[in-house]
Structure 1
């Protein structure tokens, strides 16, 4: 009998967009450490693989003023994850850090240090940026050309792997008389040269428990898929339903093979929210209530303003879509939010057809198009949805989040996790000692410094 695929589970804590029910009477702080700790401990109790934090490098703006629809502010990612390492034992700790504005030597030190502090549980979600709005916060003094962002990201990842591999597991030995000492004179020596980088020196952090922290990435374009397939250990999928999810899954896995990797060397992970009820009808009613509160009229207009790149405040959210075209050449009206829909005109045309076919108002269209593929139903129904989706190669797992911070994940862990375990799709307990082990990723060489000699940049 073929063994069932094991469902990979990540937990994310919302807080930088309209998906979080900040108005809920049970909602907690987005800044207090207790919120991060509660979510992480709950995820570990549910045998999740990792806890994930997104990050924004600038406060979002609308027409030059800070959004009043966002939950504003969050502590820096790495200190939060380092603190969580002290209150968890097995849970992976994944953080979003920008490869465009951060320097590889510093990144390599921070992530290797987190891997040491956590006993091998660090992961890096690689993101890029090309907008001057974010870039002005950094000494780079502006932005990187869009055409160069993946080039720099690739060089940064390869540089980090070169730095991490400049040490091996046997480079430090203990001497009873003199203390610890280096066994290889050139331990930590590196040189990285490329179009974006030219650095050399000695890396100061010995090889960490994982050797290399896990690399996560998101990408939908052919370039983004190739980037992930060649260098990442996991890619975030935007598809939460079949058959689109299965097509993305198959495409990324086949691209990995073309880069000389095994299909299982990269994991496919979409995000999903959930709403549970004692009956399906109760769950659907609660879902409609939450969804309508998340996307009120003002929120709907703001989400569309990014596509139209215009002030749409004069339009009625309960009326039809704006009858004007987008203005892509105007200065950005919404800043700090990633633009997913690159072709504004094609997006608007498609939305008008959908709104007409489904008889949707402006707000209803936003609800319809900006959903995250929620899991809605009884605990048994949600467990079945997750298991069926993964077993049919829609993904290798899911990154689960709740609209209620920080206690929303408790319900999933208490009611859905046991059902997944009963189905044989989720482990009863952790089996590995590192995040890489628990994700089922391939083992790395123990002595890359000796094995690789000149320490070439990694290619995947």
Structure 2
């Protein structure tokens, strides 16, 4: 019996604090003006994407005690942008990253429930933790939480927020159709939560939203992150966009679901993916090389090397050889607020590996960073890219992809116009939205339906 084709999920990530955007391109636009966000969102909706995703940085990053100004350094508040986008879109899901370390459940639940009402049930929350004391300096809580406590707080944060979302339900909730005023007894909106991190009680003041509660996303590759996603999330962002690595991650996370009484369809695996399109594969390959050199200037290459060396390397020539001195492995790191600092846990080993690669390939510092950094995930003609994306999804390397273009805000346009129609022709991507909420787009059950099924069983 032939296995039915999986439907592909596609989303669009408006690049945030990043080094992927090519600022020198004439088409590059603002990351602050609302017109950029509106253009990007309308393109994603025109292409029938599931949702738009916004990441968020809570502090301007620094290097050597100065603001790191070689890529995007900030933008307006996430809730403000998503609320505004709800007014200029009708179907597109609206996903925002909101930190669980430096916020409170009542406030975040109220904001997401409000967004869900404003958008007609299209909101989603990417639940994240903050890992560094540097970011925490902007908040009264500081950086006091070690990793195990961060995830403990995040789990209880989400549990508490869910209790708030679910506090408005039942037969006691009625609405006057003329005034829109909700009539309820004392039970509707009432909540009491006592735990390790939160001890709160009262009345939640936002009624049940169209999709019950926002869709929950999680991003994290650690053991704690995978378990958190398997137990509580509706979708997980993955960094494993390559086939074999993606299949291993997909299998691992999906196999964790059963212990929580969940099935494989209850959690979507959605890696971030970049792309470069050309009329032919050869043209796309050439363009991809050009884009990478635009993304990694000489100054960017030196700053990237400083993440590992933990030294000021401004005196080195980015077109010259790697430093012959070893990295400084002290705890006082030159780079503040960047995830790359955590990625390179053994700087001495990384330095040896990079020196060997540079020597074997005759690479300069800039060449090394270009070739060892993030490369475009999908490169080729529209036909090649459409076929590759479908092959990955059908091979269970993912359930779809969150696309990150290198041009903002128009970088998604060509994909929408040339790749999406090919996926639609293959019967693996929608031609029209079939529902009104983000849960509909993602094929996720309404929370009330899930609760009813579990109660019946």
Q: TM-score, normalised by structure 2?
A: 0.93
C-alpha change, 1:171 and 1:136, in structure 2 (3 Å) is farther
1:353 CA drift (Å): 4.2
| Structure 1 residues 338-375: Cα deviation after superposition (integer angstroms, max 9, x where no partner) | 23415133443443444444443322221222214421
What residue is the counterpart of 2:38 in the other structure? 37
Contact 2:382 2:419 in 1 (8 A): yes
- 1:271-420 alignment, distance < 5 Å: 271-339=272-340, 340-345=342-347, 346-420=349-423
Contact 2:212 2:446 in 1 (8 A): no
Secondary structure in structure 2 of the residue aligned to 1:436: helix
Contact 1:122 1:435 in 2 (8 A): yes
What residue is the counterpart of 2:432 in the other structure? 429
Contact 1:307 1:341 in 2 (8 A): no
In 2, Cα distance between the equivalents of 1:355 and 1:187? 65
C-alpha change, 1:174 and 1:136, in structure 2 (3 Å) is same
In 2, Cα distance between the equivalents of 1:32 and 1:233? 31
C-alpha change, 1:353 and 1:157, in structure 2 (3 Å) is farther
Contact 2:242 2:377 in 1 (8 A): no
- 1:98-117 alignment, distance < 5 Å: 98-117=99-118
Secondary structure in structure 2 of the residue aligned to 1:243: helix
Secondary structure in structure 1 of the residue aligned to 2:126: strand
Contact 1:240 1:372 in 2 (8 A): no
1:240 CA drift (Å): 1.4
1:264 CA drift (Å): 1.3
Gaps of 5+ in 1: 453-460
What residue is the counterpart of 1:265 in the other structure? 266
In 2, Cα distance between the equivalents of 1:157 and 1:358? 48
| Structure 1 residues 36-67: Cα deviation after superposition (integer angstroms, max 9, x where no partner) | 00000000000000000111111111111111
C-alpha change, 1:4 and 1:83, in structure 2 (3 Å) is same
C-alpha change, 1:358 and 1:265, in structure 2 (3 Å) is farther
1:4 CA drift (Å): 0.9
In 2, Cα distance between the equivalents of 1:247 and 1:200? 43
C-alpha change, 1:350 and 1:211, in structure 2 (3 Å) is farther
| Structure 1 residues 152-177: Cα deviation after superposition (integer angstroms, max 9, x where no partner) | 11111111111111111644313589
Contact 2:173 2:188 in 1 (8 A): no
| Structure 1 residues 206-238: Cα deviation after superposition (integer angstroms, max 9, x where no partner) | 111111201111111212111111111111111
In 2, Cα distance between the equivalents of 1:243 and 1:177? 57
C-alpha change, 1:177 and 1:361, in structure 2 (3 Å) is closer
| Structure 1 residues 240-260: Cα deviation after superposition (integer angstroms, max 9, x where no partner) | 112111000000000122222
In 1, Cα distance between the equivalents of 2:153 and 2:281? 48
In 1, Cα distance between the equivalents of 2:245 and 2:370? 20
> What value does the CA root-mean-square deviation take over the aligned residues?
2.1
Secondary structure in structure 1 of the residue aligned to 2:124: strand
Contact 2:21 2:71 in 1 (8 A): no
In 2, Cα distance between the equivalents of 1:141 and 1:235? 27
Contact 1:63 1:334 in 2 (8 A): yes
Contact 1:211 1:446 in 2 (8 A): no
| Aligned pairs, number | 451
C-alpha change, 1:388 and 1:175, in structure 2 (3 Å) is closer
What residue is the counterpart of 1:455 in the other structure? none
- 2:242 equivalent to 1:221: no
- 1:130-141 alignment, distance < 5 Å: 130-141=131-142
Gaps of 5+ in 2: none
What residue is the counterpart of 1:251 in the other structure? 252
Contact 1:167 1:448 in 2 (8 A): no
In 2, Cα distance between the equivalents of 1:68 and 1:417? 35
- 1:149-298 alignment, distance < 5 Å: 149-168=150-169, 170-175=171-176, 180-298=181-299
In 1, Cα distance between the equivalents of 2:328 and 2:129? 25
In 2, Cα distance between the equivalents of 1:311 and 1:194? 46
C-alpha change, 1:392 and 1:358, in structure 2 (3 Å) is farther
In 2, Cα distance between the equivalents of 1:237 and 1:366? 22
What residue is the counterpart of 2:57 in the other structure? 56
| Structure 1 residues 278-331: Cα deviation after superposition (integer angstroms, max 9, x where no partner) | 111111111111110111121111122122222222333233333333334242
Query: After alignment, is 43-52 or 362-371 more displaced?
Result: 362-371
C-alpha change, 1:181 and 1:271, in structure 2 (3 Å) is closer
